[in-house]
Structure 1
């Protein structure tokens, strides 16, 4: 990544101006979390704030809208007024215990909502995502104690779980429901029965929660923002490079050129464009002719040309058809 290359260079050169450029270029993607009350927006904020490279903030670079179960008229009005990059179907773990489980049911519902809203919808359990980070040994010990109690202790209801005769106090069970709800408790009991560990259970919670898919989608949505930062950083470094050979060499070195190409590819792919062909020279020729689309795409095309030609040169400058002989 361009930011990684720039950070290493800033550390090496020790120039505070370059370090400041690196800090601005590598700032977290700012994500605004919006939605009506009762949808778990605060928990979503906690879940996303723990993701590397993301900071919940408003004003933001990217916005998400949080809903549960359905899109109500007020949801649709807010989405139409301020279109988000992504809609999160939160509390996906409550979608139902039948069939293949709540998360699979939530995926099907998310697809239906996406067709209605015209915006990508992803299911997520922010509660489980937060628990994946924060669940402590005391809660894990409680789940281990429940492992021999049998599934009947869950009763698919909070009241049944709290009123059952179990080797764990009612207060401890209430805390488990606050941290995990019934689906998370069921996952914990299953993990404990398999003689799992707390770290393994926390990793399971993260996988099941869907938060990694949300973070990946946000990074895709933020590709244009990251690329604009690359362009800004390059312009600032070009000014510093006057009379500074080290900065000038950094801007023209292979690693920097290829990192800029990678950032440009992210933008084009996020827009649904194919960045091929595979052959370096053919790709450079294709994007050299590119003149359609917004200005940022034309800048991306220029970076693809530079990077592809650099790769072609590294390969010996031999056309791909000759290499195949």
Structure 2
């Protein structure tokens, strides 16, 4: 990723202006979480705020002017006020709707998560924006230590056919709810460790898919940040070209370096996939052979001069073509040396 290459470069040059550019492009996405009362907005916000590259907060009234994306939380059904709110927000900002409490979708068929995903597809058609399931309580679990002890004791009591103390049941339900408690009891009964149980509960919460969708919705924003950073570095190099130090030369070398060009291609590829453009580069393309790199470069170079696409898409295509040519050159040299 370009942000990683720039961070390494900034650390090496130790120039405050370059550091500022690097920090700006690497700034976390600002996610604002809202929804009807009682659907679990604060829990969803707490869970998302722990994700890498995201700063999430619940909002009750006005959105922050620098918000990048809004997560609108619903539970069980879409109400008229949900449709109205999502329509108003989506006119200004990218919106992801989260169907929280997905474990309440029912246990028929393949289970609650499968049922929740089916509902999400239905709700997405109604709302016109993507909808993802989530179990916020499991995603925002603060500390498994207390719950771990409670679950182990519960399993032991059940095995001995002894009654479970009311207070212990209450603590477990407050921490994990019914679905999480059932998962935990089954997992501990199978010999899961605390770390394995924590991973299982996170997987069941579906939070990683929600985070991935947020990043996909913001792919163009992150790519624009890359373009802005490149423009700022180029401007700084021009300003420093007559200063007598080597900063301008180092910036120019950095921007032209193979690793930087390939990193920009990777960011452009993320945008292509997020936008759903046809024939997008697949993952793992760095390992392709010379023929694949060259054909990809030709295809995306043609796309970059297509007047029917937008400016960002043209620059994106040019970055993919340029990176592919660098990889083609590198693969050709390696092949010739064998």
**TM-score, normalised via structure 1 length:** 0.87
For residue 96 of structure 1, report the CA deviation from its aligned partner: 2.2
What is the CA deviation profile of residues 295-320 of structure 1, one whole-angstrom value per residue up to 9, with x for unaligned ones?
111111221221122122222389xx
Task: Say if 2:123 and 2:131, in contact at 8 Å, map to a contact too.
Answer: yes
Deviates more, 1:204-213 or 1:51-60: 51-60
Residue in 2 that maps onto 1:203: 199
How many aligned residue pairs are there? 305
Residue in 2 that maps onto 1:161: none
For residue 285 of structure 1, report the CA deviation from its aligned partner: 2.2
Alignment of 1:1-325 (within 5 A): 1-57=1-57, 58=64, 59-83=66-90, 84-131=94-141, 134-150=142-158, 165-166=163-164, 168=165, 170-242=166-238, 243=241, 244-273=248-277, 274-276=279-281, 279-290=292-303, 291=306, 292-316=308-332
- Give the SS at the match of 1:30: strand
Deviates more, 1:49-58 or 1:22-31: 49-58
Residue in 2 that maps onto 1:158: none
Task: Say if 1:135 and 1:202, in contact at 8 Å, map to a contact too.
Answer: no
- Give the SS at the match of 1:82: helix
Gaps of 5+ in 2: 58-63, 242-247, 283-290
- 1:139/1:127 CA distance change after superposition, 3 Å: same
Superposition RMSD on alpha carbons, in Å? 2.3
Task: Say if 2:269 and 2:281, in contact at 8 Å, map to a contact too.
Answer: no
What is the CA deviation profile of residues 176-230 of structure 1, one whole-angstrom value per residue up to 9, with x for unaligned ones?
2111111111111112212222211111110000001111111111111110110
Could you tell me how far apart the structure 2 residues matched to 1:183 and 1:177 are?
9
Deviates more, 1:216-225 or 1:111-120: 111-120
Could you tell me how far apart the structure 1 residues matched to 2:318 and 2:326 are?
12
Deviates more, 1:215-224 or 1:236-245: 236-245
For residue 263 of structure 1, report the CA deviation from its aligned partner: 0.9
Gaps of 5+ in 1: 154-163
- 1:185/1:276 CA distance change after superposition, 3 Å: closer
**TM-score, normalised via structure 2 length:** 0.84
Task: Say if 2:74 and 2:99, in contact at 8 Å, map to a contact too.
Answer: yes
Task: Say if 1:95 and 1:103, in contact at 8 Å, map to a contact too.
Answer: yes
Runs of 4+ in 1 over 3 A off after TM superposition: 148-151
Could you tell me how far apart the structure 2 residues matched to 1:96 and 1:46 are?
25
For residue 98 of structure 1, report the CA deviation from its aligned partner: 3.8
Could you tell me how far apart the structure 2 residues matched to 1:136 and 1:316 are?
52
- 1:276/1:188 CA distance change after superposition, 3 Å: closer
